[in-house]
Structure 1
């Protein structure tokens, strides 16, 4: 029956039942949809990158992105072009990261005009995907979440800096993570994991509450009440300080007129990422880089490890000497 649904690979009408089934959480249907369009997707990758191992990386990335964002496809007949667009964007990201091409304006997979509520409804991952992610080891979970669930910490170089490992190790861990994720999806899909959207919504609220408390002078109180008393500030794999250093850095930024605004949240039980836009004061527009990611390891709902990462550094950013390595540039 499933094979009958596949139809002719060039007929977009035959993508409709597979796309709808995949949007309902059918892993096998998504696999069939990807197989139908594999040749076209690979052709796009080869035309942009040429032969080489990067093509396989892009194809693996595209499969995970499709798994995460299949709900974005409003017209099931357009699944093929949508999959090829994912491959095209991943290839261009890869080339830009390697400084082989100039940046090209892209149509984002998310509407930047949407607020957190709309983003949560349109882009929250299926509960079973997050459950499968939780089955990964911390060493595999972190690069996978950064690669596929953030907006600005997706490049191999960025992930390597966050994790404190070489780029080659990032590639290896991503390959392992994707393989293990695929192996656990069907098992986790059968369970009831209805709390993922609530967890994401709660993390959005926590991010807003944390920033509001900081502006009101209560950041230290939030750290004491809501975060682990053993919180460790990390730079790569190196522990740099504790809550006191984090509080001092936040207070210094606020005193300088710097503000942060959450724009994307990815939240699991053991790992959460808050991506922030940074608004600098008008008289010091280069005080801080334009964005920062708070990458948090959780235990029992409390933050135990925090990494702060600026995807776009500023050469002129002003950082107190004692905070170098904590506020990465």
Structure 2
């Protein structure tokens, strides 16, 4: 026996395909995945058994390869790397079936960074975002939250943010992965906007929005940047419009609540601002740890703002299993 495993063929050819894929060659990446499909599928079948979960894992692995191919430092060993990604995705799926939340992607390199930061480090980023923009809004939102946010990545969190059942999240992510694969092919030769510049602009806008609110100028921001019919919602329920946005921000500031942007995802049609919420010093439990503004744009203006609040840490039981700590009110919007 040579000791090789299915998919370990042609290391020289593998290396050439990896290097081409790292420069943004679509056909090279597709060829690479096709060459190693038998070995990848064999790993998935051995861990999951026959069934639709195998196809889900294969699609998930293709997306990971798309985002992470630039990080492969040993191009000749891409086969074992792809099978490692399959194994990690299988373990995530098995954890989820035991009601344990899955991990994000595969472990990142030791020099770290979020998945979005890894994405932004290589030439494929603009192409990927163009393909994401081509998805329907129903599929785009769960996919963006799952793969580009930092605090709304588990199935349960996405379900709460989108106000849909967990099983629907899984179904839509499955559809989104398939649609994204087709969209990547369709958008390979189209012009791609600069995703880094768009994200930098959105970071600046998030900071400027909060600074304007503290100066008492949030009303001007809403008039200039939001559509006249902007809606505010939480947990899938519409709460109100521009008047509530203004009243909620004023109430939070008057209560001493401040917020700090921690992560930004910026597409042409969908923006996510993740914020740390800072409670007033004399009331440290006033608000949840954080909030995400999930913003849908219409012709470049903010049209729908949906709030997702980071859950508080699990309560500590005092005495005979009863939490006797005082409960504090959450601000009206905690925006």
C-alpha displacement at 1:45, in angstroms? 5.1
Residue 238 in structure 1 maps to residue 249 in structure 2 = no
Query: Who is 2:285 aligned against?
Result: 286
Query: Who is 1:172 aligned against?
Result: 171
Q: Distance in 2 between matches of 1:91 and 1:327?
A: 37
8 Å CA contact retained: 2:64, 2:105 = no
Query: Who is 2:323 aligned against?
Result: none
Query: Per-residue CA shift, 1:40-97, capped at 9, x if unaligned?
Result: 5556656766665444333322322332343344554564455455445545555565
Q: Distance in 2 between matches of 1:87 and 1:217?
A: 51
Q: Structure 1: where are the runs of 5+ without partners?
A: 1-6
C-alpha displacement at 1:11, in angstroms? 6.7
Within 5 A, what are the aligned runs for 1:1-329? 9=8, 14-38=13-37, 41-42=40-41, 53-77=52-76, 79-80=78-79, 82-84=81-83, 86-91=85-90, 93-94=92-93, 100-101=99-100, 108-109=107-108, 121-122=120-121, 126-313=125-312, 316=327, 318-320=329-331, 323=332
- How high is the TM-score relative to the length of structure 1? 0.78
Query: Per-residue CA shift, 1:120-161, capped at 9, x if unaligned?
Result: 852685222222222222112112212222222122222222
8 Å CA contact retained: 2:235, 2:307 = no
Q: 1:106 to 1:186 in 2, by over 3 A?
A: closer
Max Rg structure: 2
8 Å CA contact retained: 1:8, 1:14 = no
Q: Distance in 2 between matches of 1:43 and 1:91?
A: 12
Larger mean CA deviation between 163-172 and 130-139 belongs to 163-172
Q: Distance in 2 between matches of 1:66 and 1:255?
A: 48
- What is the RMSD of the two structures over their aligned residues, measured on CA atoms? 3.7
Q: Structure 2: where are the runs of 5+ without partners?
A: 1-5, 316-326
8 Å CA contact retained: 1:309, 1:327 = no
Q: Distance in 1 between matches of 2:112 and 2:305?
A: 29
Q: 1:168 to 1:99 in 2, by over 3 A?
A: closer
SS at match of 1:231: strand
SS at match of 2:239: strand
Query: Per-residue CA shift, 1:196-253, capped at 9, x if unaligned?
Result: 3322221122122222323333333222221222110123443211122223333333
Q: Distance in 2 between matches of 1:123 and 1:95?
A: 31
SS at match of 1:71: helix
Q: Distance in 1 between matches of 2:106 and 2:47?
A: 18
Q: How many corresponding residue pairs?
A: 318
- How high is the TM-score relative to the length of structure 2? 0.77
Q: Distance in 2 between matches of 1:43 and 1:28?
A: 23
8 Å CA contact retained: 2:230, 2:303 = yes
Q: Distance in 2 between matches of 1:216 and 1:84?
A: 54
C-alpha displacement at 1:109, in angstroms? 2.6
8 Å CA contact retained: 1:128, 1:189 = yes
